[in-house]
Every structure is written in C-alpha cells, then in structure tokens.
Chains A and B, each alone.
Chain A
C-alpha cells in the first residue's frame, strides 16, 4: 500500500451505505472525510426493523440465490437493472457472515445458527434478523468498525455538518463539497478526490412518514440542481402498516405479518349479513395472504378503507392483529416494536389488535447511477437509498438493509479506484474553493435575514399535505397537473418566508429554510415523473380518466374496453369505475413497450422545471411477466 499515493474520498452520510463505503475505502488504504447531519450512530438506517434478506437456505426449503433474484425483480415489477440485482443477491449471504463476525446480535435458533423469518413477496424464509431492531444492530456494527478506523487514523468524522453542495473543477469534475457546521454555523469548502453521497431517502418531502426528521432529500435535490440526474423518482414506497401520528407515522414492521400477524376490518358478511372480521388480504390474495408485497397491501387497505368505507369510522384505520400469537413467542421475535406501540399508543399489542394505516416509507428512486454507482457527474457517486438502483418499481421488505450495505461495498472501492485512475483532472484551486464557500455564506446570510410573512415549518406541513393528496397510493393525471401548479405556487411563496432567528449560532430555522426549498424542488421531480408515466407499475398506480381515454387511439380504447367489461366515467372526477355497483376504480395497465424504461429527470434551472426522459436498462436475464400475488409465482 505504501507505493499508492494517498487519496481522499468525501463520504456524505453515515448510515449503512456511507459507513460500509467508508470501511471499504479505509481497508484499501484510502482516507475518508465522513460528513453527517448527526452522530453517525443516530442515522436513519437504525429504524429498519424486520431484517435483511439473504439466501442462507437453513430451513430445509431449498431456497436459492436465483429465487431471491427472481423475487426481487418480480417484486420490483421489472423496472430494476437485473445485473445490479444479481450482484446484490449473490453477495447477500457473505454480508450476513460479515455482520455476524462483527458482532451483530442476530436472533438464533436453539442450536445457535442464524434464525430466518418470512417476509412479504417471498415464499421462502430468507430474512435474517435481530429481534425487531435489525437496522439498529447492523448500523451499530458498522459504526463500531468505522470508529476503529477513526482511532487508526483512516477516517475523520464531521458530525453535525450539513452538506450544502458539490464543487466542480473547470472540467466539470466533482472535486469537493461545501458544508456547514450545524452548531457554529460556520461554512467551509472541502477538497477531495471523489465524493460519495449516501444521504438516504426524501421521506420528509411528504412531511408525515416513517422516515426520520433528517431524511429530507435535501442533498439529493442540491446535486440534482447542479446537474445530477434523478432516476425513477415517482416510485415511492407506501408501507401498509404504520402507526399514524401528527409528528410522524411510526413503522410497524412487516415482520409482524412475517411472524403470523393478520390484517382485518369488520364488515357485514355479503351472504349472511352478519358482522364479521374480514381478513381481506387473505381473501384477495390467497397465495401470499398477509405477505403480499407492500404496494399491493397498501392499495388493498386503501381500497377497503377509502373506497369501501370499512375502516374504523374516524380516523381511517385497519387492524393488524398479533393477539392470537403466544406472548412469549412475540417477545422473543418482535419485542422492540411491541414496546414501541405501547410507548406511543398506550396499548399492549399482545392483547389488542394494533390500529394501522399506510404511510410513505421508502424511495425506490433517487440519483441515477450506473452499476458501479457513478452518477452522470464525473467524480460524484451515490449509494444507499439516495440512489435509484436495485428495487425497480417496488422494493421487497428486508431488501433495503441489503441494498444499503451492498451498494457501499461497490461505491467505496470504486471511488478509490477512480481516485487512483488519474482521470479526474485538476484538483480545486484555493480560489475555486473560496468562491464556492462564499456563495453559500451569502445564501445563508440572505436566508437569516428573510423577513417575509410565511413560516417555513407551516409551509413544510402544506407540502406534505399536497404530496399525500396528489402523489400517493392512487394517482391521476388531473391531480398530478394540479400538484405541479401548487408546488410552483409553494416555491414562489418560499421567497416570502420570514425567520424569527436571525442569529449565526445553531440556527436550525435558517438551515431548515434552505432544506425546504430543496424539498419543494425534489417534489416537482417526483410529480412530473408520475405525470409523464401513463401506466401502472409497482408503487405507481394511475387511475384512467375520461380525458386519458379520449386521447387514446381506437386500438387502445378497444383493449381497455375488452379488459374491463362494463364501466363508466364518474361525472364529477372523470375517473373510470366499474358498473357492478362497487364503483371499483380502473387503472392503467403496465405498458412494457412504452414504459419499461428508467425515468431520468434533469433540472431545468431557467424555470425550476424537471425535464423527464427515459433510458433503457439491463433486463435480459428474466423475461417480464405479469405480477399476480393471488396465485403462486410462476417462473
């Protein structure tokens, strides 16, 4: 290693992916400057509960890596790059062994090997877990290893530093960042050989979601505005089972259903007219039952509650029931999250069914990267939830801890390889660094002195309301067009924000104002992409409107008519609905010919408008077939 010149990589974000990349770089002799909003041990990866998928095949089910591969591609509705997914599922068992050696306290069988549990969209037991706090335990293991490298001198941590933007050299290569100390509010420019963003998801764009308050997508939006392309942003996962709250929707793990939990509502039996518990997922999807993938479960809950009116009267909820399972089994397998329900709701889920509702949870989309995790900006890489790779149109539960970790094992070594390749052009001059720093200082000073009438936190609340209203479980083109208008209006109102804190010490308000602008601009990328994608695929479900139908050619209209039998368009909303008395909504089908392509969004600075194009991706290994979880999967 002595003959290799020392290279410095900046890693922004200290969740699983950022820490994994950091570790790999250190092990290969590179130096890392690690930036994070918070002590890395408090990163959002720790909120993952249920587990991590890996084909361990220790339950006599003849599980195979191919089966994991196929489940992931099928679950993602054939929008994931298949070679990337293949690499990930092949590495999964090795990553589990690594975590085990690092000391993750995985739950074990009586003979001491790693236990496995069921998870959604997969028929085999394939999910390793540490009780119901798997993310916390995995994050801690990497945090510990990175601390070890901190002592050895490979890593310098910048905790409580917020990333503001990247700095490019005169050839357009990313060679540094500007960041701000969140306590002293000091702004500095930092040079590097390569920059990796591992800044997590954009959940806060929706306000109330299962994400931490720090998951605002601000860094992703910042580099998007500097020219980085975004891939598939319209695919946002809505987790079917969360505890709704005014400050956040708290995740209630899919592991509840993996361990036997059942989802139900009361209804009148259609035949006998008697009141009964309706286990609607088991009824609608006999093959997978309560373990259908998340997009499917969320849509079913939404249908039962919103369209059939079977939720609890007010507010909208369905039951997630564990009370039929022995309490000591629950304690052993799900302890942490049952305690959480008790803490926040004040009821014991071992005794009474939990009341839950779907919530925004995870972004399949993110910064566009190639299979080595390079963005379209040379010198800038991205990994973890902030990139768009691996999950296509819908992520399977317990694949996120895997993709976060795995992507770090790719981006880290690749960053160092690139740094050593000599292809990065000139390092930033001190003038370039200073100019970038000064620009950010001026922008921050301007924000600190904003004296308008709007409150940024109030506007953030409104942003969440807008996005939930128009771009969540069911979307239609009228709503999406309206959403774009409202987002532009919100962006205009941003200029009229007033801050009450004009100081320059731990000024959280001013930093939030900066983040809010980025959130609104990212929300537009989500919305515009959803608007352009005239199909339903995975988490993106679009209702057919009369105006859509009228714009189609005769052949397409005929195909729609034949598929859907008798239907009508609602006079008020123009939505297509069945005539059978249920008024079931009719959706666009999947359109592989036109839309089996990655959405690529670039930012048009002139009018703050996203520009949407489509790009081919690798899908030669598994031929696309229709998803149907009512029956067992056919390959």
Chain B
C-alpha cells in the first residue's frame, strides 16, 4: 500500500482541506500513476466516495512541465516522483506560489507572460526560406541546449523566496531565458532590449541570490551561473546606456 495525503481545495477562494487515500503498491509506481488509480476508485481511507483529485499532467516523461506540485514539501514533477523514493504517507500540495484553481491544479500563466517581457524569441524576418542559418560555435550551442530544456514547470519559482506576493521578481526561469536568446547569433542583435527589460522592476535586481532555484530545477539547468552572468551583462548594459547617450 502507498498512503497518500492530499491537500485539496474546491476553488480559488475556498479553504484548503486534506483527504487521505490508499493506493495498491506496485514496483515503479509514481505519483501520477497513483493519482490515476484514485480516479478509478475515488474513495478515501475512511471509505468516503469523493470527487477525483484534480491536477494537470500531459507527457509523464518529465518534458512538458505540467505536473509540477509540492510533494513531501518539495516542488517537483509528479510523474517522475517514484513512490519507492518518497517517505510515506506521501503528502501532495499545490504549488501555492501560483494561484490555485482547484486541488493540485494551479495557474502558471504569469510565467508565460514574463516570456513576453524578456522578448523570449529571435526576431526572424519570417518563417520563409532566407538562406542558410549562421554557423554556431558548438560549445555555445551546448550551453543553449542546456537552458532550452527549461519546461516552464515553475519548480524554481516555488523554491525561490523572492517570487511571490512580497516581491515583483519575475523569477529565475523567465530571467534565464533572456540569456538563452542573447547567446544565439541572430538573437543577440536584440540583447540590449532584453537586458534593459531586466533592469526594470521585477528584473534581475530582485534576485536575492538565495540559490534555491538551482537545487530545485528538475532539468539541472545551472540557473545561478546564468543569473550571475546576466547580472554582469545587465551592469555592462547599464554603463553602455549611460555613456552612449
């Protein structure tokens, strides 16, 4: 048996409450698979028939980022959280850095909005054929590949003490995406715009360097390294802004 306690909440303004479920153990069982078992028979340990638990998941391969929740106190992807590696009873909670929609389902639209602010794209002329793309340094491309694994799951946001109502920090994930686009041979043409955006309120100066993000990242992106690098780039840009006027 794998015992699970789930913190539930019926709507955005309802009070949270906890329900306990038992799920038959099998090797390789993960938290999403356990939630799916509950869907098939949504009965609590007290024998009460309840509405099945609501959560978000898609790929179950740790690529889409959808199933992030707080498991035994830590923000992580539910699909790759194996029951064998978790202390029981397993306690599931929504990532409350974000507004809760229902149960474990949260609203992370703020992260996608922040990607607009940092101009998280390359300004290509269009999707038509232009000519060969520029050759790239393979080592730089590997760094880009690492950062480009960011699946907007929000683990770093949940772990960061500076993301939340107390601060306007856009958070580690969207900030570091600016670094990604500044690395690209065409994307770097707009690097000053991205760096200037990070000088504004909620930008890189709101990072308190607590270094929680790098430990929370399920993709092992060296977030703090790139935040430090960006901090340097932003400072350089600030000086350029002064002297180029």
The chain A residues found within 8 Å of chain B, CB to CB, are: 20, 23-24, 27, 38-39, 41-44, 46-47, 94, 97-98, 100-103, 105-113, 130-131, 133, 136-137, 140, 144-145, 147-148, 150-151, 159, 183, 212-214, 245-248, 250-251, 336, 340, 343-346, 409, 455, 457-458, 461, 500-501, 503, 505-506, 508-509
Contact = CB atoms under 8 A, between A and B. Distances in A.
Nearest to A112: B135
Contacts of B59: 42, 44, 46-47, 212-213
Contacts of B52: 457, 500-501, 508-509
B61 A251 contact: yes
Chain B at the A interface: mostly helix, strand, loop or mixed? loop
Contacts of B120: 144, 147
Given A98-B129, A247-B32, A506-B101, A44 B58 contact: yes
B138 A136 contact: no
Interface string B53-64: 010111111111
Given A44-B58, A102-B122, A214-B58, 14 more contacts: A27-B126, A97-B131, A102-B124, A108-B136, A113-B135, A183-B107, A212-B58, A212-B64, A248-B60, A344-B80, A461-B40, A500-B42, A503-B51, A505-B11
A133 B149 CA distance: 8
Nearest to B29: A246
B49 interface: yes
Contacts of A455: 40-41
Contacts of B26: 246
Nearest to A136: B63
A6 B120 CA distance: 28
Nearest to A509: B52
Nearest to A412: B127
Nearest to B116: A151
B122 A140 contact: no
A214 B61 CA distance: 13
Contacts of A24: 127
B60 A250 contact: yes
B132 A112 contact: no
Interface of B: 10-11, 26, 28-30, 32-33, 36, 39-42, 49-52, 54, 56-66, 79-80, 82, 84, 101-103, 105, 107-109, 112, 115-116, 120-124, 126-133, 135-138, 141-142, 144-145, 148-149, 151-152, 180-181, 184, 186-187
21 contacts: A23-B127, A27-B127, A38-B66, A41-B112, A41-B151, A42-B64, A43-B64, A97-B131, A100-B133, A103-B144, A137-B145, A145-B121, A147-B115, A148-B123, A183-B105, A246-B26, A251-B61, A344-B30, A458-B41, A506-B101, A506-B103
B127 A20 contact: yes
A501 B136 CA distance: 54
Contacts of B28: 245-246, 344-345
A251 B107 CA distance: 29
A105 B33 contact: no
B55 to A, nearest CB: 8
B122 A103 contact: yes
A501 B32 CA distance: 19
A308 B141 CA distance: 46
B138 A140 contact: no
Contacts of A251: 61
B132 to A, nearest CB: 6
A145 B124 contact: yes
B138 A505 contact: no
A1 B132 CA distance: 28
Contacts of A503: 10, 51
Contacts of A39: 108-109, 112, 152
A44 B26 CA distance: 27
A635 B237 CA distance: 59
B224 to A, nearest CB: 20
Contacts of A130: 145, 148
A340 B66 contact: no
B108 to A, nearest CB: 8
B49 to A, nearest CB: 6
Contact of A108 (B41, B65, B130, B141): B141
Nearest to A502: B51
A106 B141 CA distance: 7
Contacts of A112: 135-138, 141
A500 B138 contact: no
Contact of A147 (B108, B112, B132, B144): B112
B237 to A, nearest CB: 20
B101 A147 contact: no
A501 B137 contact: no
Contacts of A150: 116
B197 to A, nearest CB: 12
Nearest to A211: B59
Contacts of A248: 60-61
Given A136-B149, A137-B148, A461-B40, A340 B136 contact: no
A85 B32 CA distance: 39
A46 B184 contact: no
A191 to B, nearest CB: 25
Contacts of A140: 148
B74 to A, nearest CB: 15
A177 B240 CA distance: 52
A247 B152 contact: no
Contacts of A409: 127
B161 to A, nearest CB: 25
A102 B187 CA distance: 8
Top-3 shortest CB links A-B: A100-B133, A501-B51, A247-B33
Contact of A212 (B30, B60, B130): B60
A100 B66 CA distance: 27
A592 B116 CA distance: 53
A311 B82 CA distance: 26
A113 B138 CA distance: 8
Given A42-B66, A144-B120, A246-B28, A213 B57 contact: yes
